[in-house]
Amino acid sequence: MEYLEITGGNRLRGSVPIGGAKNAALPIMAASILVEGETVLHNVPDLADVRLMQTILGRLGVTAQRDDTGAMRLRVEDEMNVHAEYELVSKMRASVCVMGPLLAKRKRAQVSMPGGCAIGDRPIGLHIDGLKALGAEFELVNGDVLLRAKKLTAREIFLGGPFGSSVTATANVLMAATLADGRTIIESAACEPEIVDLAEYLNKCGAQIRGHGTPEIVVDGVDALKGAEHRVIPDRIEAGTFMIAAAITNGDLELEHARVEHMRAVVDQLRRVGVLIERAEKGISVSSSRRLEPVAITTQPYPGFPTDLQAQVMALLSLADGNSMITEKIFPDRFLHVAELNRMGARLRKEGPTVIVEGVKRLIGAPVMASDLRASAALILAGLIAKGKTRMQRVYHIDRGYERIEEKLVAVGADIVRRQAD
């Protein structure tokens, strides 16, 4: 088993290239199922989750390969199979994004129901309700969602759930609606930049989508979509993670390609904490003099503060000068990092969906266990400033969503090494 060994204390300085967004690339890759001819995607990050999506698409008859330039070329070769099996879906929830495209293009979709995961329950009722509203028949067979429809018929669909909008449910219904008969209106649609990117790719393929980026998306169905070339947006969560890396190490980083307009809530909160953030020539520059003010943060759907940065900001606030409060409104159980950060000397107390963060003077290196992708990012951030060595086990979690993380960190001065356990 591999682990990461981080020796804390180095200030990070320099420039970090921010890669393509995982959560934009995955649904766009799935959308290629809808399309005739070749799709060429630039800026697809090289991640374990992306490789898994390539495997899933491969089983569904779609070739998805990198060319010499690193671009990913996708093409549907065979439309026979419509089954995304448990063995693959259980490894990555974003696999459910093949459901809408399979149903719309191949008239059937059989997708294993993803189980719970480390960050909570994660139901897919909204995906199914949305696709049923477009006319699909639904059955649950051996733990698989089976959807069938000879043709999809446009409808007005309300996609709000108990925790607000759903990103991948919006993606699924949006993708299916591109080939439905008539005008679909999705109300309470997710407004995340990743949904906007998906809609922009689909429009390049000939879809008729308006209103993406707002809670009301209007889709006029078309008969067919044709392959297109598209560049995936930069990853705002990777950018946010490196912003916090600069802040926590008292450093000075330029985040190349990062887009302020995708990160307003994060920039606003980090500025309140005392972090200096400016637009820079190539992206965003971030520096800190490490006097950190405590703040109250609540995660929300976009444009609110993202749940995918909740763990990382908790690592930062554990060093603030006073008590902070972090409330998780998207995944109320997404707190497995709390106990691990406490092992490093943080003072965190969970009360329901809220964590009270009592600021401490220093964190201390310790052996810790990553529980999920963003929790592992938080532990690395804590390790960068902790006194002594932090050894993080279960490195595969970080490899799902951060491309060459230790390489990027080492390039700006961090002491972090990947090692093989005996």
Residues that bind ligand EPU (CB under 6 A): 23, 26, 93-94, 121-127, 161-163, 166-169, 194, 306-308, 330-331, 373-374, 401
Q: Which is nearer to ligand EPU, 58 or 116 (CB)?
A: 116
Q: How far apart are the first and last CA of the chain?
A: 8
Q: Which is nearer to ligand EPU, 29 or 270 (CB)?
A: 29
Q: Which is nearer to ligand EPU, 3 or 302 (CB)?
A: 302
Q: How far is the CB of 81 from ligand EPU (least distance, A)?
A: 22
Q: How far is the CB of 386 from ligand EPU (least distance, A)?
A: 23
Q: How far is the CB of 78 from ligand EPU (least distance, A)?
A: 25
Q: How far is the CB of 13 from ligand EPU (least distance, A)?
A: 27
191 is catalytic: no
What distance in Å separates the CA atoms of residue 351 and residue 296, rounded to the nearest whole number? 14
- Look up tokens 């696999």; give the residue: 95
Q: Which is nearer to ligand EPU, 98 or 366 (CB)?
A: 98
Strands across the sheet with 229-231, in order? Answer: 62-66, 72-76, 39-42, 229-231
Pairing relation of β-strands 252-256 and 283-287?
Answer: antiparallel
Q: How far is the CB of 92 from ligand EPU (least distance, A)?
A: 8
Q: How far is CA 176 from CA 36, 58, 61, 216, 298, in A?
A: 15, 20, 18, 16, 32
Q: Which is nearer to ligand EPU, 122 or 418 (CB)?
A: 122
Pairing relation of β-strands 389-393 and 208-210?
Answer: unpaired
Select which of 97, 117, 191, 205 is catalytic: 117
Q: Which residues are catalytic?
A: 117
